[in-house]
């Protein structure tokens, strides 16, 4: 998989999403639950807005000095025996990871959940080597068993599946014969995964935040699988997006707190893991620790009006409040990054060609902007995309004509009044019918239009003024 | 107090006169001297939200010129009031227009915001009998930051019972051109909104933005639900009916 998860056109994906009743009830239920938990846990802090300001400042400072902190991180990790590789492209990242696997003659890789490895299509690259890749995050493992169904949420990847569907997948793929009780399903998954952990040659994780001052990688998880991935195999690889870094452990403390509360409404998740390369003869440490820092288009975003998108800490708070995501689900975005942040990020990383509907798939309600713990102005970035699409890609001939006509009329009041006066009886004709010209038709297909019937405010006001003046003069 | 009314294109050119009439009468009753600059057109949101920057600038310049001499500008729309606040960003490389945009922004208020924050009035002496629920529009609450004013004014209307709308912070699915460009998605959003309105059992839905009300009201009417849809100006301008 890479960023793109579907070759179907946008309209088709949306139609499929809207008609998937099960998915929609799962998504709206999860949104309400996650948002409720987030509100409780942020209210508990009391000064959430101050925390947001602080977190934003940390992210902005880090991005403004990204070259410095990346170098500091790389030097500190290397000084302790870590192997740091900067990959400009996804191909470079995959080639490096393949080279490690080849050198180790690995036959099995076990991995923790990571969006950046999805983004670069790492699993496919590893499979080319005749090496198995086992997802160990429960949600990701379910999707992997289910013929690589793509994730639909960045924190809860199998959000669109229910326990009966999961039972069915376990039964078909692993001969599971017990009930769809979540505890039984969970126990079965544990048993299955335990064997994988013990037999894997290489463990691969993502990286929630790298810590520059110590050359460490930190992981935020709930299931404990990342601990197994990093403790059992002799060789470990952490793959990180180049922007996922903090200067010191102090900033990590703030951002981890923001991440846990925003993502799942917890003060902290069950496991917060800090991993530092170690040369000492430590039997608990991996023999080799590789860190792959992935650019894959990120440095092109730095210094542009879209830079704030790189502040993202992948908490999905924007996704959990998005009314569009609520009704169309994650797969409709056609990207591993769904929701508002996906609609901003996907066109930046992948271009507009396949993604030009995404910035328009928003009512600009700004719930995302309000929810973001690091204050990315998401709805404003969607507007920036719209401007760039109109300017560089052309917004479509008829829309362009309409907008130029609108701007001309709206800056020429007589024409505006004439135009709206002539339009009114025409619109009135269509107000009750499912018809009308162009956009009117798309409106009246599902809603009625108000009808003025010669009762227009500016006439009433003029008439009233006239009478007032007459009264004064008489 | 001299108030220049920015009626908005929807209240002027699409809706019957009632919303504008109520706004004028209400402001006058509260002691304002209301004028209506006839050259006004639209705030420019259709172009702005569709990504047409130059076209938006053109409309913004016209708006700024039209209201240049106004003492206060009041509009019965949270979304259009928010748009006026955005003008300064449109002219980031044009000092002269940016300054003018800032001047206009500093004297422009949404109707309920003006009544509560500027006039300092929380009870307008209105009377309306019935149970109503209030739709808090996204731009007005999240971007303009006006959350309390309309609720406080409604709570003080004699005879009115206000029931809270579940999921009141959810968007109704209007979003300007979004409503037609992404009609299937917009439909799902407005249907869920209508369902939540029905759950309140209120006989009347009140809002401060005609865009949202046109969307929700149009859907309610099309699907034949018995809920009345009113702009807040109409409610705040209601008086006890005197039968002679």
Residues A145-203: tens digit of each pLDDT: 999 998 888 899 998 888 999 999 999 999 999 999 999 999 999 999 999 999 999 99
Helices (H), chain B: 9, 18-29, 45-50, 53-66, 78-90, 95-107, 111-113, 138, 148-155, 178-181, 183-200, 210-222, 232-236
Beta strands B2-5; B33-35: pairing state: parallel
Residues B139-174: tens digit of each pLDDT: 999 999 999 999 999 999 999 999 999 999 999 999
Cα–Cα dist A243/B181, whole Å: 34
Picking from B140, B71, B55, the residue whose alpha carbon sits closest to that of residue B103 is: B71
Identify which has the larger pLDDT, B31 or A450: B31
Predicted local distance difference test score (pLDDT) of residue A2 = 83
DSSP-derived letter for residue B208 is S
A377 lies within 8 A of chain B by CB? no
The structural domains of chain B, with segments of one domain joined by +, span 2-117, 123-236
CB A160 within 8 A of CB A166: no
**Range(s) of the domain holding residue A404:** 397-473
* B179:A443 CB<8 A: yes
Neighbours of B40 (CB within 10 A): 25
Which of residues 419 through 438 in chain A touch B, CB cutoff 8 A?
420-421, 423-424, 427
**B95-105: average pLDDT:** 97
Give the 3-state secondary structure percentages of chain B, helix then strand then coil, rounded to 5: 50, 15, 35
B2-117 adopts what CATH topology?
A: Rossmann fold (3.40.50)
The two three-digit tokens of residue A216, written as one number: 């460490």
CATH of the domain at A57: 3.40.50.10420
Interface test with A, best of B65, B80, B182 (most A CBs within 10 A): B182
Helix (H/G/I), strand (E/B), else coil: B190: helix
Residue A368 lies in a domain: no
Predicted local distance difference test score (pLDDT) of residue B244 = 45
Residues B63-91: tens digit of each pLDDT: 999 999 999 999 999 999 999 999 999 99
Q: Is B3 left (phi over 0), alpha (psi -120 to 50) or beta?
A: beta
Picking from B96, B113, B48, B39, the residue whose alpha carbon sits closest to that of residue B70 is: B39
Which of residues 331 through 360 in chain A touch B, CB cutoff 8 A?
360
Which of residues 401 through 420 in chain A touch B, CB cutoff 8 A?
403-404, 406-411, 413, 416, 420
> Which of A390, A443, A460 has the CB atom closest to B180's CB atom?
A443
End position of a domain, from candidates A300, A315, A349: A300
Predicted local distance difference test score (pLDDT) of residue A429 = 65
- Class for the domain spanning B123-236: alpha beta
Beta strands A209-211; A216-221: pairing state: antiparallel
End position of a domain, from candidates A300, A330, A356: A300
Predicted local distance difference test score (pLDDT) of residue A435 = 65
CB A187 within 8 A of CB A55: no
ipTM of this predicted structure: 0.95
| HSE toward the beta carbon, residue A384, CA cutoff 13 A | 17
End position of a domain, from candidates A285, A300, A315: A300
Rg value, chain A, Cα = 27
Cα–Cα dist B235/B19, whole Å: 10
Distance (Å) from the alpha carbon of B227 to chain A's nearest alpha carbon: 14
Residue A328 lies in a domain: no
Residues B220-243: tens digit of each pLDDT: 999 988 899 999 999 999 987 654
Number of A/B CB contacts below 8 angstroms equals: 200
Total tally of structural domains belonging to chain A: 2
Q: A274 vs B2, B93, B232, CA distance in Å?
A: 63, 46, 55
Helices (H), A46-157: 48-64, 66-79, 90-103, 115-119, 122-127, 138-145
Query: Using a CB-CB distance cutoff of 8 angstroms, which residues of chain B are in contact with residue A404?
Result: 55
The two three-digit tokens of residue A435, written as one number: 């018809």
Picking from A153, A117, A193, the residue whose alpha carbon sits closest to that of residue A340 is: A153
Residue A106 lies in a domain: yes
Helix (H/G/I), strand (E/B), else coil: B136: coil
Residues A152 and A30 in one domain: yes
């Amino acid at each position: 998989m890479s960023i793109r998860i579907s070759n179907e056109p946008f309209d088709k994906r949306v139609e499929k999403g809207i008609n998937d009743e099960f998915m929609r009830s799962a998504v709206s239920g999860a949104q309400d639950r996650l948002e409720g938990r987030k509100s409780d846990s942020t209210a508990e802090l009391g000064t959430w807005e101050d925390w947001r300001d602080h977190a934003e400042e940390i992210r902005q400072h880090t991005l403004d000095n990204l070259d410095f902190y990346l170098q500091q991180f790389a030097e500190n990790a290397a000084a302790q025996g870590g192997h740091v590789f900067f990959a400009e492209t996804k191909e470079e990242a995959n080639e490096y990871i393949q080279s490690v696997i080849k050198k180790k003659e690995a036959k099995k890789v076990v991995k923790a959940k990571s969006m950046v490895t999805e983004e670069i299509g790492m699993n496919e690259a590893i499979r080319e080597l005749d090496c198995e890749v086992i997802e160990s995050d429960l949600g990701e493992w379910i999707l992997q068993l289910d013929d690589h169904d793509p994730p639909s949420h960045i924190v809860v990847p199998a959000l669109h599946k229910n326990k009966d569907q999961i039972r069915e997948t376990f039964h078909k793929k692993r001969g599971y014969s017990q009930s769809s009780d979540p505890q039984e399903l969970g126990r079965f998954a544990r048993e299955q995964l335990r064997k994988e952990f013990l037999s894997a040659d290489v463990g691969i994780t993502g990286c929630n935040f790298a810590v520059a001052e110590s050359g460490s990688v930190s992981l935020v998880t709930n299931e404990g699988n990342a601990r197994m991935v990093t403790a059992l195999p002799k060789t470990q690889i952490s793959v990180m997006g180049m922007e996922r870094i903090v200067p010191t452990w102090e900033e990590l403390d703030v951002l981890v707190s923001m991440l846990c509360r925003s993502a799942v409404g917890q003060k902290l998740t069950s496991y917060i893991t800090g991993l530092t390369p170690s040369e000492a003869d430590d039997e608990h440490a991996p023999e080799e620790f590789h860190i792959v820092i992935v650019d894959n288009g990120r440095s092109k975003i730095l210094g542009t009006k879209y830079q704030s998108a790189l502040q993202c800490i992948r908490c999905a708070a924007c996704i959990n409040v998005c009314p569009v995501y609520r009704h169309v689900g994650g797969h409709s975005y056609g990207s591993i990054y769904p929701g508002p942040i996906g609609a901003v990020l996907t066109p930046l990383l992948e271009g507009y060609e396949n993604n030009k509907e995404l910035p328009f798939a928003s009512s600009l309600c700004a719930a995302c902007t309000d929810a973001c713990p690091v204050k990315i102005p998401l709805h404003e970035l969607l507007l920036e995309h719209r401007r760039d699409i109109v300017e560089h890609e052309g917004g479509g001939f008829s829309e362009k004509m309409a907008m130029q006509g609108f701007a001309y009329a709206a800056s020429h009041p007589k024409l505006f009044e004439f135009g709206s006066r002539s339009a009114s009886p025409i619109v009135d004709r269509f107000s009750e019918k499912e018809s009308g010209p162009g956009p009117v038709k798309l409106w009246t297909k599902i809603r009625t239009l108000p009808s003025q019937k010669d009762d227009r405010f500016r006439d009433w006001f003029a008439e009233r003024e006239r009478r007032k003046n007459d009264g004064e003069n008489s | 107090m001299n108030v220049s009314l920015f009626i908005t294109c929807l209240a002027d050119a699409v809706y019957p006169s009632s919303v504008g009439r109520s706004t004028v009468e209400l402001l006058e009753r509260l002691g304002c001297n209301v004028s209506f600059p006839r050259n006004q057109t639209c705030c420019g949101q259709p172009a702005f939200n569709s990504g047409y920057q130059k076209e938006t600038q053109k409309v913004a310049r016209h708006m700024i010129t039209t209201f240049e001499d106004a003492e206060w500008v009041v509009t019965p729309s949270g979304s259009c009031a928010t748009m006026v606040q955005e003008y300064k960003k449109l002219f980031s490389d044009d000092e002269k227009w940016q300054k003018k945009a800032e001047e206009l922004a500093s004297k422009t208020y949404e109707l309920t915001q003006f009544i509560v924050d500027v006039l300092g009035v929380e009870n307008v002496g209105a009377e309306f009998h019935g149970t109503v629920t209030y739709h808090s529009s996204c731009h007005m609450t999240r971007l303009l930051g006006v959350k309390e004013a309309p609720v406080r004014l409604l709570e003080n209307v004699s005879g009115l019972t206000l029931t809270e709308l579940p999921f009141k912070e959810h968007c109704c699915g209007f979003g300007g051109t979004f409503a037609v460009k992404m009609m299937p998605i917009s439909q799902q959003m407005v249907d869920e909104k209508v369902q939540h309105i029905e759950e309140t059992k209120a006989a009347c839905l009140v809002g401060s933005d005609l865009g949202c009300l046109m969307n929700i009201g149009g859907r309610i009417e099309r699907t034949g639900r018995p809920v009345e849809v009113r702009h807040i100006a109409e409610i705040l301008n209601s008086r006890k009916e005197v039968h002679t």
